[in-house]
Every structure is written in structure tokens, then in C-alpha cells.
Structure 1
Amino acid sequence: MMLDVNGLARPPILAPLSFSIAAGELVGLVGPNGAGKTTLLRALAGLTTGPGTVRIDGTTLTEMPARVRARRLAWLPADRGTVWPMRGRDIVALGMMPLGVRDEAAIDAALAAVDANGFADRDVQTLSTGERARVLLARALVARPELLLLDEPIANLDPEHRLGVLDALRGEAARGAAVVVALHDLDLAAARCDRLLLLDCGRLIADGPPDAVLTAATLAQVFKVRRDETGWQRA
């Protein structure tokens, strides 16, 4: 699977940008608040229209039938809200609707990948924000899509589960999925991602290995922070 993005723009938030992502890559999307990360992810998922093209294996996303697109990619928004009083495992099962099946073994595997089996039979309305976030991530994983587009999946999670989710995403990449994940935790982005896309003011200003993107100069210029022996500091 190859994701190709050419001249994609969503004015006034997102300036034109181009990049490609191959199967097996875990790509972190980083940048300060308001940089355009969510707008870019929504455009990659086909949820907005505007200039430029997004292609999956040469097929333009807008030309791809909705059912086919739903089978090939999964989108996880930053919003952790749920509307209906449903069990966690039934929420996860919704991720299999494009396949037209309900596979309990696959549901259990997706829940296990994010350590959510322990509350899978509870009403999601009774779960904490972090627990609900893990159930919703399992829904995105359950159909084993070729492309995962995830907006801040580790927000509201404790340190153990932040690491667990990033390890699960590494596993998704290892099976051949292309994974694009928006992150604010720069340490985890550097430690777990193969590559980073850095957005600032709607522009793609860096694309490469974490150590080449998160330089001291870039951290000071874009994030207004620096690192010293005591940890992160304002620049």
C-alpha cells in the first residue's frame, strides 16, 4: 500500500504540501496547537474537500467508492465522545461493518492490543475517558485496515498505556499497515516513530527521521522549548 499526497491544501489552515507514506511505516504527525494536524488527517481520510490529491495505490481517494475506502482505511478522531449506551465490544464491532461480518476473535484481539478486555462488557458511558479512548482505538484496529489515521490516540492515557498504544501501532506497521498518528508527546514520537512530519502554521516544514526533525533549533523555533539535563524547558 502506498499513500501519495500531492499539492494537498485546505485554506486558510493548510498550505499546499506533498509526501508519500509506504506500507510498514509508522509516521508521527507533530506540531504545535493549531498547526493543521487534524485538518491534514481529515483530508487524508477524505472527510474534507479542496485543492490537491490523495491517492492510495494510484487511485484517487475521491474516486474510490465509500465502501472500498471504509475497508482500506480507518480514521480515529480526537473526540472521545460516544452517543449510544453500548458495551465496549459492541463499539469495537462497529469497526467491522465495512467487512459485513462480526468476528469475536478479531474483536478480542483488538481489545487485547490496547489492554481493554477487562472492561469490554461494560457500557462505554460508564468508562473513564482513557478507557473509552482505548475502546475507540480498538474499533479502528479491528478490521486490520491498510491505512490508519489516528488523531492523538494517547491523549488522556497514563504512561503505561501510552507506551502500550505506541507498541500496538508498531505492531500494526509490522503487519504491513501504513500508520499516521498525531502526537504531542515528542519523546514518544522520537522513540517509537520511523519518521516524523512536522507542521507549523499549516506548512510542512520537515519530513524525516525523528533525530533529523526534532533538532534543538527546530524545537526552539517551532515549539518554543529546549531540553537540558533537568528535562524540558521553555526556550
Structure 2
Amino acid sequence: MQLRRLWNQVLYWLSPEGLRSGFMLSALLWINAIGTVYGYYWYGGQIEDTLVSHPIWHVLMVPDSPTASLFFTAAIWWLYKEPERRLSSPGVRWFRSFIEAFAVVTSVKYGIWAVSIIAMGAAQGGGLSWQDYMLSGSHLGMAVEALLYVRFFRIGMGPLAAVAVWTLFNDYADYAYIIYPYLPLELDDDVGTVQTFTVYLSIVSLLITWLASKRTGKSRV
């Protein structure tokens, strides 16, 4: 009986009503906001190194995961504060759609990327610390929440195309200018493989977002 009640609770929180409830949205706002701050702190050393040895604009492409969670936080905040866009101007609707598209694409991409890279390093003999488990759980959560909430977003083709340009250019910049996230030591000789995996993951994440927006019937801005 207790298991059935627990299962019903899980089903409710995964339902549209549960996902759009004030409690769930406010909880996600705080979780993602705190995770974003911690993520930028985590990238602090690489940001400092980039500022010393690279043009300043390269810094924009260094903290990938916290930037993804920052945009997802903004998307959830907008959904919490203004669930409907009937009164929004076309420009505001386009900007909101860009934020939502960016949030979904990058959350799925970097959520899967981080877990995969940690697993690849471990498969080549690297040990797993508590931080690796923490990072794997939090990044997997990024991908899952994006896939759960994409049904509530209106992702237009224009904003999604803009996100595609940014995402693929980010991949190019990471490996052309050597500003990709620090990898496990075991993968130092596999940078080319990681680069190929990253680009394909970007394309898959863009396709998933496009298909999800078409499936929910909310692809128009």
C-alpha cells in the first residue's frame, strides 16, 4: 500500500500538473540557481587561465554546464512568472524562445557529455571520487529536467537555428583555441575522439529538441 501511494506521488510529480506546480517550479529555480553559481565557481581556475592566455571573448565559451543551467533557470523563471505569452511582443516571444531552446539543447548536451566523459575516464583506469558521482548525478539531472520541461516551451525554428550556430561554433572554438573543459588525465591522448563525440552530441541534442518541440505542437513562437 505504501509503495502504491509512493508510486502515485511519483506519477503526479511527473505529470503536467505536477511539473507546472508552484512547488516544483520554485524548487527547480533554487536548485538550478545554486547549481549555476557552484558551476561557475567550479570553472573558476579555467576561467582565470583563459583570461591570462586567451582573448577575453573566449571566456564566454569556457563554463559550458553552468551557462546551460543559467539559461534553464531563466526558462523556468519565465514559465513560473508568465506561463502564457499572449501579451508578449513578437520580440519578447522570440527572445524567450531562444532562452528555452538554448536551455534544452545545452542541458541535454552537457548533461550527457559530462557523464560520458567521466565514464570514459573511469573505463581507462581513472578512479571515481565522490565529486565524480556528484557531477554525474547533477549533470544527468540537467538532461532529464530539460527533456521533462521541453513540452512546456515554444521553440521556434529561428531561435533554434541561432542556438545551433552558437552550439556548433562553441564546439569549434573549444578545440581550435584549446578552451575545452578540463578532461580526466586518462583522456589526454583521446582529445580527437572527444571532439568528434562532442560535435555529434551537439547535433543529436539539436535534433532531440527540434523533434520534441514538433511533438508537443509548440514549435511556433
| TM-score where L is the length of structure 2 | 0.25
Structure with the higher fraction of residues in helix conformation: 2
| TM-score where L is the length of structure 1 | 0.24
